Structure 1
Amino acid sequence: MTADPSGKPLPVPGNAVLQAVIRAPAQGFDDSGHQPGRVLAQVGDYFAQPTGWPSLRAVRFAGFFEGQCTFAIGVRAQAPFRVSSQEVPADQIRRVVVDLAH
């Protein structure tokens, strides 16, 4: 896995990695797709390192560039997965759900 946009290696625990790329909405961003003054996380920050989950090893922030956020999801091994989203109208957000087989 590599960091976005630098292309530098980004190690992730596990024997396989899922790369989740989420496109950000166009409003509120400059011409390069950056959201001025708002930092979600620093490249390499861990969002999760759960214990007791058979498949998931870690979720790391891999970067934000040109209107997209990239996350590295470290998993135990290559296995089936499913991605969906859930809209939360009261919060005006959309959640991304990654179901991993175990």
Structure 2
Amino acid sequence: MRRWGTAVAALALAGAGVAASAGAATASVGSQRTVAATCSTAWGSLDKTGQDTDYRPLLDIRAGRHDCYDRLVFDISASGGNTGYRVGYVDKFHQDGSGEEIPVNGGAILQISVDAPSYDPVSGAQTYAGRAGETLPGVDVTGYRTFQDTRFGASFEGQTQVAVGVRARLPFRVLQSGDQLIVDVAHTW
């Protein structure tokens, strides 16, 4: 009789462990569903553009990580108004002006052209220290979920061109807030 009681107790404990594990797995899957639901985007991956003729100097480029996307922020000198831009996926990244190909690591290349030169149009003084073919100064995307590389292309005829190597061709959006142009690339579809 004692053996049966021990066996029943062992089975009950094993069943409780399996049920607890299943509950944890369900909670984990449920929380992933919650995160996925709050991260859903309808941004798409087609080219996005914005027009403006106010060529204000580019001051800085910064990167950030969020739960649903990786972000690149272009800080542009203050004077109000929007900044023109063209953002889209390309097969290869070619430097404006020279046409030279600049290698970019990642599964896809997002090219960003901003109507903000890396120099002051009046004085000619450099305002952003990007160098053709090199990573963006002060931008380290190590450990980012979507961003894998950044490259400065050129500042040519009033526009600054950069590339972001991303994990895959993922949805992205472009926002303007004050004196910032913001490019977000989603972690997933």
User: Aligning the two structures, in what range does the TM-score lie when normalised by the shorter sequence?
Assistant: 0.7 to 0.9
Task: Tell me, in whole angstroms, the C-alpha distance in 2 between the residues paired with 1:58 and 1:101.
Answer: 15
Of 115, 122, 146 in structure 2, the residue corresponding to residue 55 of structure 1 is 146
Deviates more, 1:47-56 or 1:75-84: 47-56
Alpha-carbon displacement from aligned partner over 1:13-34 (angstroms, at most 9, x marks no partner)? 1011111110028xx526xxxx
Gapped runs of 5+ residues in structure 1? 88-93
Report the residue type matching 2:115 in the other structure: R
Report the residue type matching 1:98 in the other structure: V
Runs of 4+ residues over 2 Å off in structure 1 = none
- 2:133 is equivalent to residue 44 of structure 1: yes
Structure showing greater Rg: 2
Residue 180 of structure 2: aligned partner: 95
Q: Is the CA contact 1:86–1:95 (under 8 Å) kept in the aligned structure 2?
A: yes
- 2:115 is equivalent to residue 23 of structure 1: yes
Greater helix share, 1 or 2? 2
Task: Tell me, in whole angstroms, the C-alpha distance in 2 between the residues paired with 1:24 and 1:53.
Answer: 26
Trace 1:56-95 onto structure 2 (pairs within 5 A): 56-87=147-178, 94-95=179-180
Q: Percent identity?
A: 37
- The CA deviation at 1:39 is 5.7
Residue 48 of structure 2: aligned partner: none
Task: Tell me, in whole angstroms, the C-alpha distance in 1 between the residues paired with 2:176 and 2:149.
Answer: 20
Q: Is the CA contact 1:22–1:69 (under 8 Å) kept in the aligned structure 2?
A: yes
TM-score by length of 2: 0.44
Report the residue type matching 2:170 in the other structure: A
- Relative CO higher for 1 or 2, CA cutoff 8 Å, sep ≥ 6? 1
Greater strand share, 1 or 2? 1
Of 75, 82, 105 in structure 2, the residue corresponding to residue 13 of structure 1 is 105
Report the residue type matching 2:133 in the other structure: G
Q: For the aligned residues, what is the CA RMSD?
A: 1.9
Gapped runs of 5+ residues in structure 2? 1-92
Alpha-carbon displacement from aligned partner over 1:31-82 (angstroms, at most 9, x marks no partner)? xxxx623262211221234122111112211101111000111101101011
TM-score by length of 1: 0.77
| Matched length | 90
